[in-house]
Amino acid sequence: MKRLTLKWFACTALGASCLLSFSFAAEPLPVVASFSILGDLVRVVGGNRVTVTTLVGPDEDAHTFEPKPTDARSILNSKLMIMNGLHFEPWAQKLRESAGFKGNTVVASDGIAPRVMPKHDEHHDHPAQGHYHAIDPHAWQNPNHVIVYVRNIAAGLSKADPQGAATYKTHAENYVKELQALDAFIKAQLAGIAPEKRKVIISHDAMGYFGDDYRVVFLSPQGINTDAEPSAKDVAQLVRQIQREKIKAVFIENMSNSKMMEQISRDTGAVMGPRLYSDALSAADKPGATYLQMMRYNVTQLVTGMKRN
pTM of the shown model: 0.85
> How long, in residues, is the chain?
309
> Do 133 and 248 have their domain in common?
no
- Looking at 181, 204, 225, which one is the last position of a domain? 181
- Helix (H) or strand (E) holding 243, with range, is helix 232-245
Are 53 and 177 part of one and the same domain? yes
SS3 state at 230: coil
Sequence-ordered list of residues with C-beta below 8 angstroms from that of 25, at least 6 positions apart, any chain: 2, 3, 5
Q: Are residues 80 and 174 in the same domain?
A: yes
Q: Are 219 and 268 in contact (CB under 8 A)?
A: no
Statement to judge: residues 104 and 243 lie in one domain = no
The verdict on 61 and 157 lying in the same domain is yes
Which residues constitute the domain of residue 113? 29-181
Domain for residue 102, yes or no?
Answer: yes
Please give the distance of CA 59 from its chain centroid, rounded to a whole number: 11
Give the C-alpha separation, 256 to 221, whole Å: 12
Are residues 164 and 219 located together in one domain of the fold?
no
Q: Does one domain contain both 39 and 156?
A: yes
Pair (102, 223) in one structural domain = no
Is 166 part of a structural domain of the chain? Answer: yes
Q: Are 45 and 82 in contact (CB under 8 A)?
A: no
HSE-up of residue 35 (Cα within 13 Å, Cβ side): 29
Q: Which of residues 148, 181, 214 is at a domain's end?
A: 181
CATH code for position 218: 3.40.50.1980
Residues 138 and 227 in one domain: no
Considering the domain boundaries, does residue 8 fall inside one?
no
Which amino acid is present at 268?
T
Say if 16 falls within a structural domain.
Answer: no
- In the chain, DSSP assigns E strands to 2-8, 20-26, 29-35, 50-56, 80-83, 104-107, 115-120, 131-136, 199-202, 217-219, 250-251
d(CA 222, CA 230): 5
Q: Could you give the CA distance from residue 9 to residue 150 in angstroms, rounded to a whole number?
A: 39
* 225 and 289 inside one domain: yes
For residue 268, the Cα-to-chain-centroid distance in whole angstroms is: 30
> How far is it, in rounded angstroms, from Cα 213 to Cα 191?
13
Rounded to an integer, what distance in angstroms lies between the CA atom of residue 238 and that of residue 218?
Answer: 11
Please check whether residue 285 lies inside any domain of the structure. Answer: yes
pLDDT at residue 119 in the model? 58
83 φ/ψ angles, rounded to the nearest 5 degrees:
-120, 155
Q: Last residue of some domain: 120, 151, 181?
A: 181
Q: Which helix (H) or strand (E) holds 237?
A: helix 232-245
Positive or negative, the Cα torsion across 218, 222, 224, 225?
negative
Q: Which residues contact 180 (CB under 8 A, 6 or more apart)?
A: 143, 147
Computed on alpha carbons and rounded to an integer, the radius of gyration of the chain in Å comes to: 23
Q: What is the Cα–Cα distance from 170 to 119, expressed in whole angstroms?
A: 42
CB 190 within 8 A of CB 198: yes
Q: Tell me whether residue 162 is in a domain.
A: yes
175 and 37 within one domain: yes
pLDDT per residue as tens, the chain (309 positions): 433 333 333 333 334 433 333 334 579 999 999 999 999 999 999 999 999 999 999 999 998 899 999 999 999 999 999 999 999 999 998 999 999 999 999 999 999 999 997 654 443 333 333 444 689 999 999 999 999 999 999 999 999 999 999 999 999 999 999 999 999 999 999 999 999 999 998 888 899 999 999 999 998 876 666 666 667 787 888 888 888 888 988 888 876 666 778 888 888 888 788 999 999 999 999 999 999 999 999 999 999 999 998
Q: Is residue 254 part of a domain?
A: yes
Let me know if residue 139 belongs to a domain.
yes
Number of structural domains (the chain) is 2
Task: Identify the pLDDT of residue 257.
Answer: 62
Residues 162 and 266 reside in one and the same domain: no
Contact 165, 278 (CB under 8 A): no
